[in-house]
Amino acid sequence: MIKLDNVGRVFQVGDQDVPALDSVNLTVGRGEYVSIMGPSGSGKSTLLNIIGLLDRPSSGRYFLEDRDITALTDEEEAETRRNRIGFVFQFFHLVPRMTAAQNVELPMVLGGVPPKTRAERVAAALDAMGLSDRADHRPGQLSGGQRQRVAIARATVMQPAVLLADEPTGNLDRASGAEVVHVIERLVDSGITLVLVTHDPELGERARRRIRMVDGRVVEDSSGNPAGRP
Amino acid sequence: MMRITDIFRFVRNAAGGYRVRTTLMLLAMAIGVASVVILTSLGEGARVYVNNEFASLGTNLLIVLPGRNETTGGPPMMVTGTSRDITTGDAMALLRHSSVRRVAPLTVGVAPVSWGGRTRECTIGGSTPDMLTIRRWKMAQGGFTAPDDPERAAPVAVIGAKIRRELFGSHSAVGEWLKIGDRRFRVTGILASEGRSMGFDVEELVLVPVASAQALFNTPSLFRVLVEAKSREAIERARADVVSTFKLRHQGEEDVTVITQDAVLATFDKILRALTLTVGGIAGISLGVAGILIMNVMLVAVSQRTSEIGLLKALGASRRRILGLFLTEAAMLSCVGGLLGLMLGYAGNRVVIWLYPAFPVTAPWWAVAAALGIALSAGLLFGAMPAWRAAKLDPVLALARR
């Protein structure tokens, strides 16, 4: 499903090269539930961005569903993100001027899905999140937990293979956080591959496979693979 | 990939989400386009106005003035003293040429006109009945019954509508005797009011036979001679004939100036067209300023919507899609602004028409097309840089901003 082969990422700050990832090797199978933990600046978000095709590795190769991603054009990359990957962010990133339904519809609008199909799928996705009665509310009228569930509905409406979540509960109170975790884990049960970045140990420990990162390297992988080897 | 209707819906939604920004942009564009429309309309109106004035002079017209002004460079009146006067005989001699159809001598003076105790200073024109034909003047009532021989005086006069109103009031004028200076004339007709005609207000004119006017003002000379050529093609031949006739009759002195209507008209036309282009160009600058405002506002929009752009990329919008969305937004805003400006411009024209009904205000089609074209291309041109900036945004950095 996801295969990182010696992936490195170097950022340029001024005229200094700052390594964020240092030859990371990682393989994630279909339907796996993986958490990535580590201190701030350990490179876990950079890793997630590379997996999500928002960032490109400086070195190494990345295969998603056996396709070499590093060779894709911008257009193909965008298409892959749209159809194969769903994002859930700490700060939800809902468009404030759009209703919940319009936010969920957005990836399908970008993908040119016919309006009739869109309406059906938006209704189904909101229903699955228990938000049918909030379809016409704008983000400003929703609670944090509701906003994150709208964002999850948007991330899953294209039925992606991989769901990437960056601190999905980081901006929520305990009750809403638990609710969101419950929703996400239900998606894992239905077969989606989930990669979750968090520094909340309680959330991280829930994952079946736990990865620890320090200084851009994978230092611990609960699947039993020794660090740095696939 | 994205459906056209969805693109427009998205863009409309985005523009509607930032009311102040959108309003400012529309306003700038509308004012730019409106000023182009109104200013070129005024320029074009001036051109049409002058054209109409000349057309009302009559067609194929040549005007003969005493004196030559080409060589001296001074105003014509300075030279008249040294040159010979034009006489009625000179004028009538022109009729011998095949290139000339009609000739009307003209003497002009100012004299008091009185009837029944009322007196008024009036412009008195002395001419022949051909004057009416040449200058396209019509009679509202009666006719100009001057004698066939222009050398013969006769106590008949036609008067303008305003003079009739002021001297006679509700009384019928035709057939009455009035006094011009110390002579008595019988009113034989009323001129139809056709508005102004090159300095002559027909409504305030009294027309008498040329010999009578010369007697009244005690002068043998003419103010000028109006010559109507046989056809448009004959104008140049008629000019040569006029000059040679005067040379012959004035002992070889070429001491008259001949103005053809065509030449004057062409000059005015050129000047006024240049004027229209100039004011249009100045208004065009305001369109350029509007374009820069659009760029500024779009740049603000891009930074305001940075995280949204990052999100769109995460949701699967390519660079080209983002570029397209922002360009569409700029184009749509400048189109709507342009159309608003067009409406504003036409409304402004209506105000001008309402204030000055006689002034022919029309928006020239080329100015309207140019204004809309410039509005749209300014929108695209100045929208391109912000759109490109949006397309190039790094999604990771864009999303990091809340």
Cα–Cα distances (Å) from B138 to B160, B169, B186, B190, in that order, read 11, 21, 19, 9
Q: Which two tokens stand for residue A224?
A: 């039993």
Could you state, in order of their start, the residue ranges of all structural domains in chain A? 2-221
Q: Is a pLDDT exceeding 60 seen at residue B199?
A: no
Q: If pLDDT is split at 50, 70 and 90, which confidence band does B147 have?
A: confident
CB contact (8 A) between residue B14 and residue A74: no
Cα–Cα distances (Å) from B107 to A20, A228, B88, B259, in that order, read 101, 114, 10, 18
pLDDT (average), residues B314-332: 91
ipTM (interface pTM): 0.91
- B183 burial level (CB within 10 Å; 0-12, 13-18, 19+): middle
Residue of B nearest to A87 (CA): B314
Average pLDDT, chain A: 90
Residue of A nearest to B320 (CA): A75
Q: If pLDDT is split at 50, 70 and 90, which confidence band does B284 have?
A: confident
Q: Is a pLDDT exceeding 80 seen at residue B92?
A: yes
Q: Domain A2-221 belongs to what architecture?
A: 3-Layer(aba) Sandwich (3.40)
Under DSSP, the state recorded for B208 is E
pLDDT at B74: 47
Q: If pLDDT is split at 50, 70 and 90, which confidence band does B72 have?
A: very low
Which of B19, B21, B315, B322 to substitute to test the interface with A, most A CBs within 10 Å? B315
- A208: β partners: none
* Pairing mode, strands A33-37 and A209-214: parallel
Could you state, in order of their start, the residue ranges of all structural domains in chain B? 4-53+268-400, 84-254
pLDDT at B71: 47
pLDDT at B294: 79
Closest C-alpha among B368, B353, B334 to residue B48: B353
pLDDT (average), residues A100-105: 95
Distance from CA of B323 to the nearest CA of A (A): 13
pLDDT at B25: 84
User: What sign for the dihedral angle of Cα B220, B224, B226, B232?
Assistant: positive
What is the residue type of A5? Answer: D
pLDDT at A227: 44
Q: Is a pLDDT exceeding 60 seen at residue B146?
A: yes
CA distance B229 to B370: 41
Average pLDDT, chain B: 85
Which of A45, A58, A93, A98 to substitute to test the interface with B, most B CBs within 10 Å? A93
pLDDT at B79: 45
pLDDT at B374: 82
pLDDT at B402: 54
pLDDT at A226: 44
Tens digits of residue pLDDT in A28-46: 999 999 999 999 889 999 9
CB contact (8 A) between residue A112 and residue B315: no
pLDDT at B196: 52
Please state, for a pLDDT cut of 70, what percent of chain A lies above it.
97
pLDDT at B232: 76
Distance from CA of A106 to the nearest CA of B (A): 8
